[in-house]
Amino acid sequence: MIRVEIDGNSGFCAGVIRAIGTAEKYLGAHPGKLCSLGAIVHNEEELSRLHSMGLVTVDSLEEAASVGSGDDPVLIRAHGEPPKVYRQAEEMGLRLIDCTCPVVLRLQKAIKDAYYRVSPEHGSILIFGKIGHPEVLGLIGQVPSGVDVVQDLAQTIDLVSSGRLRTDSPVELFSQTTMSPVEYGRVSSYLESVLDPGVLVVHDSICSQVAGRHRLLSEFAASHDVVVFVAGSTSSNGKVLFDLCKRTNPRSYHINSVSQLSAGWFPPECSVGVCGATSTPKWLLEDVARAIENLQ
């Protein structure tokens, strides 16, 4: 008999819960369309559910204006946006529902403050994050210039060896809120070893909820014969956490939906752990667990 356990620590982070709850509340009181500037969550199944309620994902404020009735607000998701988006919305007369995660808001402010500290000394702001990620774009947009982004240690080494990052000027290092604490530690340790003494300031900017999940997820993955990790194909956090599962337990499988399950993954009498990203809804984890149990 296959034994299935859902990871109690998986599922939406607080910022995503707040954003989706806000969208559901608005749509419940105002049936029709609510535009989200960018996908409110990087999970195709949850986006489909919200779309059925009237949530429309748009890529720009111009698109939101053309889709909405004129009075409909535009939702800013938990990832946040740069100040220019707020200025543009005001110029266009668009009302915003701002669901930027409080953790991201604090990080945005910290980067602005750091910029004004280091720029008089020709210093640098360095962000450890996924290049092109919405949160990272919002962070870069907080300041006029002088921000570099690295995704891993190799890119950090290249940044230093090429001379693009000065070793004798102030450097303030930040991380995207959902990145791997282990890899962030590698990046910061490397910089400490090559930069002049006293020039590096490392900020603890990974969300504490996300950071704690890494250790707990490793323990969860190690405690089962097979791991099924559920996350959207575009989820940055999902890739990081699945890689962690795969390193811990080679019999880990990444799926987006129930339809991708394969009976051949599960030997008789095995223990299966079902887990997911900060963008994975609990209802989807429960659907996957039931589907695995019904394979027997």
Q: Is 71's pLDDT higher than 90?
A: no
Q: Is 39's pLDDT higher than 90?
A: yes
Domain 103-202 has CATH 1.20.58.760: no
pLDDT at residue number 3: 95
Angle between helices 208-222 and 181-194 (to 10 degrees): 120
Q: Is 47's pLDDT higher than 80?
A: yes
Query: How many CA atoms are closer than 13 Å to the CA of 40, on its beta-carbon side?
Result: 32
Mean pLDDT (whole number) for 13-38:
94
Q: Is 70's pLDDT higher than 70?
A: no
- CB 261, CB 294: distance < 8 Å: no
* Residue 209 buriedness (CB in 10 A; 0-12 / 13-18 / 19+): middle
3-11+209-293 shares its CATH topology with 14-100: no
Q: Which of 46, 81, 135, 172 is catalytic?
A: 135
Task: Show me where the domains of the chain are located.
Answer: 3-11+209-293, 14-100, 103-202
pLDDT at residue number 209: 86
Q: Is 69's pLDDT higher than 70?
A: no
Residues pairing with 166 in the sheet? none
pLDDT at residue number 247: 96
Instruction: Give yes or no: 135 in active site.
Output: yes
Assign 68 a pLDDT band (cuts: 50, 70, 90): low
- CB 142, CB 111: distance < 8 Å: yes
Q: How far apart are CA 228 and CA 5, in angstroms?
A: 10
Contacts of 180 (CB under 8 A, 6+ apart): 214, 240, 244
pLDDT, tens digit, 9 for 90 and up, residues 79-126: 999 999 999 999 999 999 999 999 999 999 999 999 999 999 999 999
- Spell out the CATH class of 3-11+209-293: alpha beta
Pick the CATH number of 14-100 from 3.30.930.10, 1.10.20.60, 3.40.50.11270, 3.30.70.890: 3.40.50.11270
Helix or strand (DSSP H, E) at 200:
strand 200-202
Q: Is 183's pLDDT higher than 70?
A: yes
